[in-house]
Amino acid sequence: MEWTQIKVRCKREDLETVSAVMCMLDNGLMIEDYSDIEENLMPLYGELIDDSILNADKSISSVSIFVPEEKSYTDYVAYIKERLTYLGVCGYFITLEGVDEQDWANAWREYYKPIHIGKSLVVVPAWQEYTPNDGEITIKMDPGMAFGTGTHETTRLCAAMLEKHMKKGDRVLDIGTGSGILSLFAVKLGASFANAYDIDPVAIRVAKENARVNGVTSFDCDVSDLLSNVDLSHGKYDFAMANIVSDILIRMSNNVSNYLKKGAKIVCSGIIEGRCSDVVLAMTNVGFDLVDEDGENDWKVLVFQNKM
C-alpha cells in the first residue's frame, strides 16, 4: 500500500494547536520538535545527534500524518487549511511526500463524485452531468482542492441536520461557510435568505462564484472573524449553522444568542466525539437546549435551540 505524508510546518508556539487539528484526522502523528534538544538531549547523547538536527531551526516544528492511497488526501489538506485559518494559525505551510506535483494539482477531481446527503441533497461536480431523481435538490460545485466538497463527515452531518430542522422562510446565518455549500442548500431548501461568513477572503470569493453557478441569488457572504462582522440590519436570524471546531464553537457560545431569535436553532458541527460534552456544556450554560444529535465515525453534530 502506498501512503501520502501530509506535513504541516509551523511556529513552535503553534505546535499544540496544529497537533490538535491533525489529531482530528488521524491519531498516528509524527511530531518533529527540536526546541529542547540542547537542554535535554545533548548532555546524554552528544556526538550521536546528527548535525542536521543540531543545526535545525528550533523555532520551527512540524506535524505529519500518513494517508492511505484509498483515502482522499486532498480532503485532508482542505480540512487542515480551513481549521488552522479559523484558529488563527499563521505562517504555516503544508508539504506532501509521495505525490507527484502534477498529480496533486488534479487529483482532487478523481475523488469528487456526486454525493448524496440526508434525504434529498446531492452535491454534483461541476464537470459531470447528473439527472436528479424526483425530489432531489442538487448543487454543482467546482471548489478546487482547497475547500469543502461535501465529502467530509462534518459537512454531511451538518447538511442533513439543516434539511431536517430548517423551516421554509427562515433567514439563515452560516458561520464559517468555506465553499458556501451549506448556505446554498439552505436557500434551495426554502430559506428566505442566507448570510454566510468566513475569515478567509478567498473562501468568500469561491462561495460567491458557487452561488452564481447555481443560480442562487438570496445569498450574500462577507469576511468575518466568527461573529465580528455579522449583518443584523434585518434583525436576528431564524436558523444558524457553524461547521467549525469544538474550541471555536465554545468560544463563540458566549454571544451567539445575540444573533438568534428566541426559539431559533443552531447546528454545530466539526466536533470530534471526545469534545462533544464540552460543547454541550458551553451551549447549555448560556441558554440553549440540546434538541438533536447525530454522528459518523468519530464526528458529532449537535442541534441546539435558543431559549433566550
The predicted structure's pLDDT at residue 106: 56
Threshold 0.75, pTM exceeds = no
Q: Report the CATH fold assignment for 3-109.
A: Alpha-Beta Plaits (3.30.70)
Q: Sign of the CA dihedral 179, 180, 182, 188?
A: negative
For the segment 4-56, what is each residue's pLDDT rounded down to a tens digit?
889 999 998 899 899 888 888 887 788 887 665 544 444 433 343 445 445 55
Measuring CA to CA, which residue among 66, 202, 206 is closest to residue 149?
A: 206
What is the domain partition of the chain in residue ranges? 3-109, 113-306
Q: Report the CATH fold assignment for 113-306.
A: Rossmann fold (3.40.50)
Q: What's the whole-number mean pLDDT along residues 183-207? A: 91
Note whether 3-109 and 113-306 share their fold.
no
Measuring CA to CA, which residue among 239, 246, 258 is closest to residue 282?
A: 246
Band (pLDDT 50/70/90 cuts) for residue 212 is very high
Query: Which residues in 203-241 are b (16+ Cβ under 10 Å) and which e?
Result: bbebbbebbeebebebbbbbebebbeebeeeeebbbbbb
Measured at the CA of 287, the angle between CA 285 and CA 290, to 5 degrees, comes to 85
| 152, pLDDT greater than 70 | yes
The predicted structure's pLDDT at residue 78: 82
Looking only at the bridges linking them, the beta strands covering 121-125 and 137-141 are parallel
| 246, pLDDT greater than 50 | yes
For the segment 108-136, what is each residue's pLDDT rounded down to a tens digit?
565 567 888 888 999 888 878 888 888 89
- The x, y and z cell numbers of residue 3, run together, are 501512503
| 161, pLDDT greater than 50 | yes
Residues with Cβ within 8 Å of residue 224, at least 6 apart in sequence: 197, 198, 199, 230
Rounded Cα distance between 308 and 301, Å, is 22
For the segment 284-303, what is each residue's pLDDT rounded down to a tens digit?
999 999 999 999 888 899 99
Band (pLDDT 50/70/90 cuts) for residue 262 is very high
